[in-house]
Structure formats: structure tokens, C-alpha cells
Structure 1
């Protein structure tokens, strides 16, 4: 590995660590912010499958750290919709127009926060409804690299917070990322270079997830919810401006 590749890996590792901390605290956000970093370093078509590899390790570790608080029924319903649509999105990645989808998602996320402010006690969604959440998230994630902010409002409305929220969201996302990896492989998007960098970034994402877990244990449910809402607005703004 030459000096230039080492410098790129160091920059990517630093970003992966910091944003894995963010994901572990808010339950999402790392992928949304890491995508533009990876895109600048590697290009979009390489960045999306590489981001999926880093999310695979990060979400897997978050599931393990919060394993006692998982809501398995929600995870099952989410996976029912997420798996087939993640595979379909992974196969479409090479040809899909990503710009309009990003802007639509940005409007949705900001609108969710506004609605939560106007109606602070939303109706609890049915467990079966998470199959639709999973379908939308699976398709969007396969095309955009990460749609963690899309699922956050539904898990919050169900009443999950802190460890239950972070662990259940991570386990749901894990089913989606595994499906995307299979689709990217079928579409010849997983090159040796992508696999090498994905493996090299794993220690940084695991360290970030562990650090974030320690931070979550020190904040209240109210602060946690506000952090998630701030993250939704930031993610929505980034999608709107085309990141």
C-alpha cells in the first residue's frame, strides 16, 4: 500500500470513528454524514458499497452492546419489508438517479421533526407497519448508502429510547445491510479494493460504537430524544443540499 493510499485510509478511519460515535449515541447519522466523506475520497459508486461494509460492523457491534434490550418482533416485521427491497435497490444502484430521491427524503425528515414539535405525542405505530418502514428504508439505503434517519421517527413513536432504540434500530438495519452486500456482490460492485478498505475501517467503527455506548449511559431520555431530532434536521438539510 503506497503513501497516498495510507493517507486516504487514515482520513477515512478518523471519519468512521467519529461518525460511529454519533451513530451509537443517536442511533443513526453516521452513515448520512460519512457518505459525502467517502464519496470525496473514493467516488459515489465505490462509496455506497464501502459504507455498507463499515455499517455492517458498526451495527453488528451496537446489536451486541444492546442485546438485552432488543425488540425482536419489530426487527422481524422490519426485515420482512427491508430484505427484498434492499436487494432490489442494490441491483438498481448502477443506474438509479439519486438526486431527486435525496431531496424527497430531506423534505420528509424535516417535516417529521416539525410534526413531532406540533404533535409531541404521536399515535404508536402498529408492529406490522414496520414492514412498510423496512421496505422504504431498504430501497433507499441500497441507493443512498444510509437512510437511518428515515426509520428513527417510527422507532421513537413506538416508544423506544436509549438502549432499546439503538439496539433494535441497529438489528433492523443489519438485516438490510446483509441483503445489500449480497446484491452488490451479484452486481459486481464488491471489488477487492472495496473489501480491503472495508476490513481496514472495521476497527475504527467498532471503537466508535463502544465510545458512543458509554456516552448514551450518561444522558437522560429527554436529552436523547432531542439529540435524535437535531440529527434528523441536520440529515434532512444535508439531503436537500445534495450531499
Structure 2
């Protein structure tokens, strides 16, 4: 039984819950590998059902870093490294700022800001602006990194920024995976300095990262055979749906 293993002893979760989270990591990673978006937000919602809020964001970040790292490695020939270098600078700045104000703003307000920003990038005529210069990308990455310290699930925003500058679907998914690996990695370091004890959750983290990588291998097969036009339609619909869910959730929390 998982509960009896040393690395699972401090997780304070039951056997069924532990297995449920490991299985959820597989399916959410497969979904992200196939469609480029959505798995991280779905996993965040699942974790939120059984794990305290104070633990949720850093634990989610650790699992997502492992999942995205596996996806980035598997699709590494398609990564746009120039875009990743630009992303890294903005992510460092945003994470440093976010770590200083991590409890200053209400979660509902940050979700509303994130959702509106994602919808604007997805539907307003901004792709030429994004493609023509690095300033807009840098600002977006800084904002995403700041918000990531509060709400965790900034994948849709990063995906919208990247998809505006890359045309081919494998390159979108691969570059997004590399960018999110860096984003979650920086967030993990920041929460470590704040005082979160990752070793208490080491067994669950490792198991979810492994199952997430297996999910990536499964989902990547679908990615390579999917029609380009269909991919773009599904990609935009998913980003919009996730943004609307965050928007409505934030508004309901404020009411």
C-alpha cells in the first residue's frame, strides 16, 4: 500500500486519494500533450478538492514541472530556443516580484485579471503585435509569472503568447512545455525560500511526475497525427473555455 511506503508517510492522504491523483496526472498530461493546453488547469482543480490551499500551488508546480520537462524532452527537436531565452528573463523578473506579494491580492481578483488577459490575446487582433517585437511578450511573461505565484495555472496565458509567434503545432506544444518547465521551476525555488517543505510530499510528487510522463508519451502520438486546422480550432476553443471558467469562478468569489 502506498500509505505504508516511507516517502508517502507525510502526505496525509488516503490510499484511494493517492492513486486517484497519480491516475489524474497521467490523463491530464496526455491531454496537454495532445492539445497543447488544459491539463495543468484540470490537475489544479483536482488537487484543490483534496489538498489544502497552502500546499496546492507549490505541489502543483512541482508535478507540472516534471510533466512539462518530460514533454519538452520528448519534443525537444521542435523547441524554439530563441523564444525560450526571451521567456526566461521575464519569468525571473515576474517570479521575484510575485514572491514578494504572494499574499497581498485576493485570489478571485487575480483569476479575473488572468482570464481577461487570455481572452484578449486569443481573440483581439494582437498576433501581429506579438510577432513584431519582444516587448509585448516580455510584459506578458512577467505578468504570467507574477500571477503564477498566486493561482498556479498560467498555462493558457503562456500558450496564447507563444501561439501568436509560432505557427506549427509541434513547435507550439514543445516550446510551451519548455517555457512552463522554467516557469514552474522558478516558482518551486521561490516557494522553497518562503518555507514550503517539499520532502513531506516527495513520494506523491515522484509518482505523479512518472505517470505524467507516461501520459505525455500517449498524448504525443495523437499530436503528430492530428490535422493542423483541427488542432488550431481545438486550441482556441480550449483556451477560451478555460479563461471563461476562471473568469466566472473569480466573479462568483467576489459576489
TM-score (norm: length of structure 2): 0.86
Q: 3-state SS of the aligned residue for 1:125?
A: helix
Q: How many residues align?
A: 240
Question: Offset at 1:127?
Answer: 5.2
Which sits farther off after the overlay, 24-33 or 1-10? 1-10
Question: 1:26 is matched with which residue?
Answer: 35
Give the Cα–Cα distance (whole angstroms) in 1 for the partners of residues 99 and 20 of structure 2: 26
Q: Cα deviations across residues 136-195 of structure 1 (Å, max 9, x unaligned)?
A: 121122211121111222222213322111111111121111111111111112343233
Q: 3-state SS of the aligned residue for 1:93?
A: coil
Q: Which runs of 5+ in 2 are unaligned?
A: 5-11, 251-255
Residue from 105, 113, 133 that aligns with 2:140 = 133
Q: Does 1:74 align with 2:83?
A: yes
Q: Is the 8 A contact 2:99 2:149 kept in 1?
A: yes
TM-score (norm: length of structure 1): 0.89
Q: Does 1:145 align with 2:135?
A: no
Question: 2:9 is matched with which residue?
Answer: none
Question: 1:215 is matched with which residue?
Answer: 222
Q: Is the 8 A contact 2:118 2:243 kept in 1?
A: yes
Question: 1:233 is matched with which residue?
Answer: 240
Residue from 74, 93, 97 that aligns with 1:65 = 74
Q: Is the 8 A contact 2:121 2:161 kept in 1?
A: no
Q: CA RMSD in A?
A: 2.2
Residue from 166, 169, 174 that aligns with 2:181 = 174
Question: 1:195 is matched with which residue?
Answer: 202
Question: Offset at 1:196?
Answer: 2.9
Q: Which runs of 5+ in 1 are unaligned?
A: none
Q: Is the 8 A contact 2:169 2:228 kept in 1?
A: yes
